[in-house]
């Protein structure tokens, strides 16, 4: 049985650890509220831009903007893995790293075997993992979330766009955790380039055909002013940059939610340990008192005899 001193030391250390986890939970909750406000405000704008962009794919034929929709054979791939800079967030980082490896080895098997898959790591955990496992990391951004802003996201997005347009890569995929609520985040893989085209109309047409309907569905038609070429070029680039910034905001918000949940669970576990140690302490203390009483009684009996 452990001594009273050992059990007492465990109680003190566990109580101190619980104070830390509770403090980290409070800090994460405060950061989560601010980050959640940003992503809630960003989502409608980013989604509308993405919707417009996907529907405009049919309007780019013959224009310079068609290069953003160029679905050429995929020989070289760039995977953008977004994690956090620090740990203590449950499975937040491991889920992204796992999905990234599965994407590279399963979806891009031939490209991976030919060593034509590169990684752009966002977050210290992402950079450390891919470098340790001998993946080619062309860029790493390990302090981005200290002051997350549009300018920093724009620089990275511009780099990815340039790499695609110069045909250094034929596909660019972004993997991040999408925020749902404080306790739930969803690992998400999105095609960044080439720009995905809208498929709603095809689904509607197929559904109508299966029901015997002859009604046709058309993609939205837009009137361009001042010119289609100028507007499309600006809109596509702006939409891509906004989309990447939204992915960073989603990941940052999900990180704070994951850390808050993890610290809350850690505090509960610490409370359970404290109860266990207190019980062990009381048992050890009772055993010591019983032993001392027995010694006194035995000594008294010996003197009386």
Q: Bridge partners of 185? A: 179
Phi, psi of 301 (to 5 degrees): -65, -35
Give the predicted TM-score (pTM) of the model.
Answer: 0.82
pLDDT number for residue 202: 45
What is the rounded CA–CA span in Å between residue 86 and residue 125? 7
pLDDT of residue 206: 46
**For 102-159, what is each residue's pLDDT tens digit?**
999 999 999 999 999 999 999 999 999 999 999 999 999 999 999 999 999 999 999 9
The SS3 of residue 63 is: coil
DSSP symbols for 95-157: HHHHHHHHIIIIITHHHHHTT-EEEEEESHHHHHHHHHTT-EEEEEESSGGGG--HHHHHHHH
Structure confidence by residue, pLDDT tens digits, 253-285:
999 999 999 999 999 999 999 999 999 888 888
Integer CA distances (angstroms), 110 to 103, 188, 224, in order: 12, 23, 42
- Fold of domain 4-17+263-299: Helix Hairpins (1.10.287)
In the prediction, which pLDDT does 252 show? 95
Judge whether residue 228 has pLDDT over 60: yes
> Considering only CA atoms, which of 278, 268, 262 is closest in space to residue 18?
268
* 23-260 has CATH 3.40.1380.10 classification: yes
Instruction: Write out the residue limits of the CATH 1.10.287 domain(s) in the chain.
Output: 4-17+263-299
Phi, then psi, of 178 in degrees rounded to 5: -90, 130
Reported as a pLDDT band with limits 50, 70 and 90, residue 66 is confident
In the block, tokens 């940003």 appear at: 38
pLDDT value of residue 291: 83
Domain with CATH 3.40.1380.10 in the chain: 23-260
Average pLDDT over residues 278-293: 86
């Amino acid at each position: 049985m452990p001594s009273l001193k050992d059990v007492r030391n465990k109680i003190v250390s566990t109580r101190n650890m619980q104070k830390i986890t509770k403090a980290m939970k409070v800090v994460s909750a405060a950061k989560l509220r601010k980050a959640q406000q940003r992503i809630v405000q960003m989502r409608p704008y980013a989604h509308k831009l993405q919707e417009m962009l996907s529907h405009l794919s049919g309007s780019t034929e013959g224009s310079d903007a068609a290069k953003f929709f160029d679905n050429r054979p995929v020989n070289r791939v760039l995977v953008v893995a977004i994690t956090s800079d620090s740990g203590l967030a449950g499975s937040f980082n491991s889920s992204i790293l796992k999905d990234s490896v599965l994407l590279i080895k399963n979806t891009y098997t031939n490209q991976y075997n030919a060593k034509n898959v590169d990684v752009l790591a966002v977050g210290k955990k992402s950079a450390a993992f891919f470098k340790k496992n001998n993946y080619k990391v062309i860029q790493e951004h390990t302090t981005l979330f200290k002051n997350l802003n549009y300018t920093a996201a724009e620089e990275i997005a511009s780099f990815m766009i340039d790499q695609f347009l110069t045909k250094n890569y034929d596909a660019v995929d972004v993997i991040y955790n999408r925020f749902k609520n404080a306790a739930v985040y969803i690992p998400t893989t999105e095609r960044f380039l080439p720009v995905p085209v809208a498929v709603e109309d095809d689904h509607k047409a197929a559904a109508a055909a299966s029901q015997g309907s002859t009604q046709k569905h058309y993609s939205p038609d837009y009137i361009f002013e001042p010119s289609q070429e100028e507007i499309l070029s600006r809109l596509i680039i702006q939409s891509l940059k906004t989309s990447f910034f939204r992915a960073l905001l989603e990941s940052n918000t999900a990180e704070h939610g994951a850390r808050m949940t993890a610290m809350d669970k850690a505090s509960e576990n610490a409370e359970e340990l404290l109860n266990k140690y207190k019980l062990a302490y009381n048992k050890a203390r009772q055993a010591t008192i019983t032993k001392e009483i027995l010694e006194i009684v035995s000594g008294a009996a010996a003197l009386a005899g």
